[in-house]
Amino acid sequence: MQKLLWLAGRAATVGAHVVAEKIRPVTPRVASDVPSNGVTLTPEWLTAVLCRGVPGAEVVAWHSPGGSSGTSERAALRVEYNAAGTAAGLPTELFTKSTASFTQRLLLGGADVLAGETHFFMTFRPSIAMEAPKGYWGAVDERSWRSIIVLEDIDASKGATFVQPTAPLSRTQVEDVLRNMAGYHGAWWDSPELKVLKTPTDHYDNVAGMLDFEARCKVGMERAAAVIPRSLVGEADRLWAGTQKGLRVCTDEMTPTLLHGDSHAGQTYVTADGAMGITDWQAVMRGGWSYDVAYFISSACRPEDRRAWEHELLEHYLEQLALAGGVAPDIDEALLRYRQSMFYPLSAWTFTIGRAWYQPKMQPDEISLAIIERIATAIDDLDCFGALGI
C-alpha cells in the first residue's frame, strides 16, 4: 500500500511535468539539461554532451532519420561536426532512447530502471571487453522522470541484425554470448562501484510494489498450461516459492557482479562479421552470475539443444569468467547455482503472458509461450525444486 501511495504521488508530479512540457517545451542547451525526447534537441546541447574533452569541437548540424515508440522512445540520430570534431573522429551515427510520454515515465520510473543504462554506459561499459554498443551520454531528471541515453547506432555502424527472442541459435552463437557475459561479469567482479545498482530482490520488490506480480504469474501459468510439463501444471505456488528463494540466492549468497538483468536472446544482435553482441541494458543490476547465465541458456536454447550442450556451455562460461577476472566456481557448484536460478526467468515470462488488461503487451503470446515451454522444461529436466530444497 505504501508503494502504491508513493506511486500515486509520483504519477501526479510526473503528469504535471508532461502537461507543462507540452505548453512550454524543454529546450536543452547545457549538459545538465535533460531533453523531453530524443529528437527535440539543439546543437548547443549536442555539443555539450558529445564534444566534451575535444577543444574547439562543435556540432554544426543534426537530423533524425526516424525511430519507433514502445516502452521507451527510440530515434536514430545523424550528427555533423566542425573541422575540430571531424578531425577527432567524434561519433556521427547515433541512437537515442528517451522517456517522452507519461506512461513511459511512470512504467520505467516506477520500476526503478530509468538510470540503468546511464549507469551501464557511463560507468561500467568503458571497462568491459565485449561486443555491446558504446554509450556517449545518459541522464535522468528525477523530478519529471525525463531520461535520455545517447549511444552508438549499431545498425548503421556494425550492420547489426537484432535477434528475435525465439530465433534458433547455433552452439557457437550461444557460446559467443556467454563469452560476452563472462566479460562483463569478470570485469566488475565484487566491485564496490556496483553499490549504485539494485539487486534481484530489489527489482522484484519494485515490480511487486506496482503490480500483483504473484497473481499475474499464476494467471500466466494457466494461460500457458498446454506447453508446461505435466509435473509443473498446478504448481504455481511452489514455482513462486522457487522464484523468491532463487532471487535471495543471487542477492545474498553469491559474489556480486554486474548483471544485464533481462538476458533473453531478444536482447542480442549479430554484427555484419558474425559476432554476437548484447544490447538493452535498462534492467542492469548487481548479483550472482547465474542470474544472467541461467536466464539466457534456458530461454534461448531449444530443449533438445540445451540438453545436448548444457554442461559444456557452463564449462565454457566458467573458463571465460576466469580469463576475464572473475572467480569461477567448480562445475558442481556452478550447476547448483544454475539450477537454483531458473525460477525467476519463468516468472518473468508467465507475468508477461499473464498480464491484466491495464498492463502493456510486452511480447506476442506465441513468443511468451515458446520461452515458457523452454524454461519450464529446463526446470523439470534439472529438478530445480530439489536444488532449492522446495
Instruction: Please report, for the chain, the start and end positions of each structural domain, with discontinuous segments joined by +.
Output: 2-156, 159-388
pLDDT in tens, 264-293: 999 999 999 999 999 999 999 999 999 999
DSSP three-state, residue 105? helix
Residue 356 has a pLDDT of: 82
Whole-number Å distance between alpha carbons of 90 and 84: 9
Out of 71-75, 207-211, 320-324, least confident range: 207-211
pLDDT in tens, 50-100: 999 899 999 999 999 988 887 789 999 999 999 999 999 999 999 999 999
Whole-number Å distance between alpha carbons of 135 and 336: 35
- Chain-centre distance for alpha carbon 13: 26
CA-wise closest residue to 185 among 130, 110, 244: 130
N-to-C CA span, the chain: 29
Residue 1 has a pLDDT of: 65
Neighbours of 63 (CB within 10 A): 10
Is 171 in contact with 158 (CB distance < 8 Å)?
no
Q: One-letter amino acid identity for 226?
A: A
- Give the mean pLDDT of 215-223: 95
Angstrom distances, CA of residue 261 to CA of 1, 12, 30, 229: 26, 29, 32, 26
DSSP three-state, residue 76? strand
Residue 188 has a pLDDT of: 98
Q: Which DSSP string do the residues of 130-143 spell out, in sequence order?
A: SS---EEEEEEETT
pLDDT in tens, 177-197: 999 999 999 999 999 999 999
Angstrom distances, CA of residue 76 to CA of 8, 87, 189, 298: 33, 23, 33, 32
Which class is domain 159-388? alpha beta
Q: Which DSSP string do the residues of 217-253 spell out, in sequence order?
A: HHHHHHHTGGGS-GGGTT-HHHHHHHHHHHHHIIIII
Specify which residues 151 forms β-bridges with.
95, 135
Percentage of the chain with pLDDT > 90? 87
Is 38 in contact with 74 (CB distance < 8 Å)?
yes
What pTM was estimated for this model as a whole? 0.94
Residue 3 pLDDT level (bands cut at 50, 70, 90): confident
- Give the mean pLDDT of 113-140: 95
- Give the mean pLDDT of 8-36: 94
- Segment (H or E) for 152: strand 146-152
**Residue 208 pLDDT > 90:** no
DSSP three-state, residue 60? strand
Q: Could you tell me the CATH superfamily of domain 2-156? A: Phosphorylase Kinase; domain 1 (3.30.200.20)
| Mean of pLDDT over the chain | 95
Helices (H), the chain: 2-23, 43-50, 83-87, 102-110, 116-119, 154-157, 171-187, 200-210, 213-223, 236-248, 290-300, 303-323, 331-340, 343-353, 365-381, 384-388
- Give the mean pLDDT of 333-356: 96
| C-alpha cell recorded at residue 295 | 536466464
